[in-house]
Amino acid sequence: MAGQRVIHGLAKILFSRRTAKAPVGDPKKILLLRVDERVGNLLGMQPLIDAIRIRWPGVELGLMASTRMELLARSLDGLDHLHLLDKRWFLSKPHRWRRAIRQVRSAGYQVAVDASAWHAFSFTHAALTYYSGAPMRIGYQRVGWDGFHSHLVLPGPEEEHELRQRMRLLQPMDPELDLSPPRLRSGLGEAQVQRWRRWIQSHRLDQTLVGFWPGSRKMERRWPLPYYIQLGRQLQQQLDAEIVLLWGPGEERMRDDLGMALRQGVVEAPATDLEELAGLMRNLDLLVTNDTGPMHLSVAVGTPTLSIFASGVASRWGHAYQDVCNLALPGEDPTEVAMAVNAAKSLLG
């Protein structure tokens, strides 16, 4: 970290010149920055974009995102400019990194909003916010080495929802702004709906269609597989539900074990990219999922979603919509299955 800060410090001097004048009144050009590679984090930029469009309808709006998240970044609605950068380029491909920074600086943004996590300081996001050339640079007030932001925002309560926390970043531009975020939404998968409808028909799936996503990146967020098996059997018996098993890289064993246990009335989805996954989700009557990226995607495309929180805080990461149920189920008591069954029934109407 010490070496990185020395290098970034030199870059800070190199890019110290501001490329626009600070806004007087409403800003004309705003840049949002979110360059990590988590699906939920980037999907969560859409409500912030929508809020900006509502409050400042004529603003020119840009986003800096990771090259590895290009598909999702391009699906976000309401952007005028998309700047793609791989943070690894700073050391591995410095020419590409400098070219990407210069492209952002040439746009002349008046405001740069560091939309990284409120609870942990991100050196990369803070530095990129400074390098943007914007005179007004907004970020959260966090523990960590800073000096890159011009305006620091105090986060809200720890249990406050992430989307509402993010709305606080707009307060330096409008202290009276309503912090209620617009609904999470996404257009991903709209062009894939008919293709997946044909796939469903080819597997003769004509009953209530329930997707299961039993995996997650973090092991502590996984509800026990035996509970998913019990839940699947209950939904099959009580609702004649047919189960579609959804999975990501490295979760093949879990998918296979769940499929073998349920046997009848279950089908494994093929490998999908994010666009294809969204299209399949749009055909489901319900998705049961752990707290993971696909949970946010399911909610964003409008699929009724049962979100199971084996760990983490549901008020912070779950979505409080009528077609979503957030259950804190630590995976320590078999009676949790009955709670999940009742929640699934309620969502299915």
Query: What pLDDT is attached to residue 276?
Result: 97
Predicted confidence (pLDDT) at residue 316 exceeds the cutoff of 80: yes
Are residues 48 and 182 in contact, defined by beta-carbon separation less than 8 angstroms?
no
Predicted confidence (pLDDT) at residue 300 exceeds the cutoff of 90: yes
pLDDT interval class at 198 (50, 70, 90): very high
Are residues 188 and 274 in contact, defined by beta-carbon separation less than 8 angstroms?
yes
Predicted confidence (pLDDT) at residue 280 exceeds the cutoff of 90: yes
pLDDT in tens, 56-75: 999 999 999 999 999 999 99
> Are both 165 and 198 inside the same structural domain?
no
- What CATH number does the domain containing 80 carry? 3.40.50.2000
Mean pLDDT of the chain: 94
Q: Average of pLDDT values for 169-198?
A: 97
| Domain closes at, from 138, 170, 202 | 170
> Are both 146 and 195 inside the same structural domain?
no
Would you say residue 179 lies in a domain? Answer: no
What the block records as the tokens of 184 is: 């999470």
Q: Average of pLDDT values for 82-107?
A: 94
Residue 102, number of CB atoms within 10 A of its CB: 13
Q: Got the DSSP string for 30-88?
A: EEEEE-S--HHHHHTHHHHHHHHHHHSTT-EEEEEEEGGGHHHHHH-TT-SEEEEE-TT
Would you say residue 180 lies in a domain? Answer: no
The proportion of the chain whose per-residue pLDDT surpasses 90, expressed as a percent, equals 89
Q: Average of pLDDT values for 301-326?
A: 95
pLDDT in tens, 103-117: 999 999 999 999 999
Predicted confidence (pLDDT) at residue 172 exceeds the cutoff of 70: yes
Q: Average of pLDDT values for 284-304?
A: 97
> Are both 241 and 335 inside the same structural domain?
yes
61 beta partners: 30
Predicted confidence (pLDDT) at residue 123 exceeds the cutoff of 80: yes
Predicted confidence (pLDDT) at residue 145 exceeds the cutoff of 70: no
Query: What pLDDT is attached to residue 14?
Result: 82
Query: What pLDDT is attached to residue 15?
Result: 86
Q: Write the CB contacts of 98 (distance below 8 Å, at least 6 apart in sequence).
A: none
pLDDT interval class at 323 (50, 70, 90): very high
> Are both 140 and 66 inside the same structural domain?
yes
Are residues 272 and 281 in contact, defined by beta-carbon separation less than 8 angstroms?
no
pLDDT in tens, 211-240: 999 999 889 999 999 999 999 999 999 999
Query: What pLDDT is attached to residue 12?
Result: 77
- CA separation for the pair 138, 315 (Å, rounded): 25
Would you say residue 178 lies in a domain? Answer: no
Task: Find the radius of gyration of the CA atoms of the chain.
Answer: 22
Provide the residue range defining the domain that includes 71.
Answer: 2-170
Query: What pLDDT is attached to residue 143?
Result: 79
Q: Is the pLDDT higher at 264 or at 22?
A: 22
> Are both 273 and 244 inside the same structural domain?
yes
Predicted confidence (pLDDT) at residue 176 exceeds the cutoff of 90: yes
> Are both 252 and 141 inside the same structural domain?
no
Side chain identity at residue 18, one-letter code: R
> Are both 140 and 24 inside the same structural domain?
yes
- CA separation for the pair 96, 271 (Å, rounded): 32
Tell me how many domains the chain contains.
2
Q: Got the DSSP string for 86-121?
A: -TTHHHH-HHHHHHHHHHHHHT--SEEEE-S-SSS-
> Are both 139 and 253 inside the same structural domain?
no
| Burial (CB count <10 Å: 0-12, 13-18, 19+), residue 144 | exposed
Q: Average of pLDDT values for 133-140?
A: 97
Would you say residue 256 lies in a domain? Answer: yes
Quote the pTM value: 0.94
Strands laid side by side in the 81-85 sheet: 81-85, 60-66, 29-34, 111-114, 136-140, 151-153
Query: What pLDDT is attached to residue 4?
Result: 66
Predicted confidence (pLDDT) at residue 1 exceeds the cutoff of 70: no
- Map residue 257 onto helix, strand or coil: helix
Predicted confidence (pLDDT) at residue 342 exceeds the cutoff of 80: yes
> Are both 16 and 149 inside the same structural domain?
yes
pLDDT in tens, 4-45: 667 777 777 888 899 999 999 999 999 999 999 999 999 999
Question: What residue has token string 């049961």?
Answer: 288
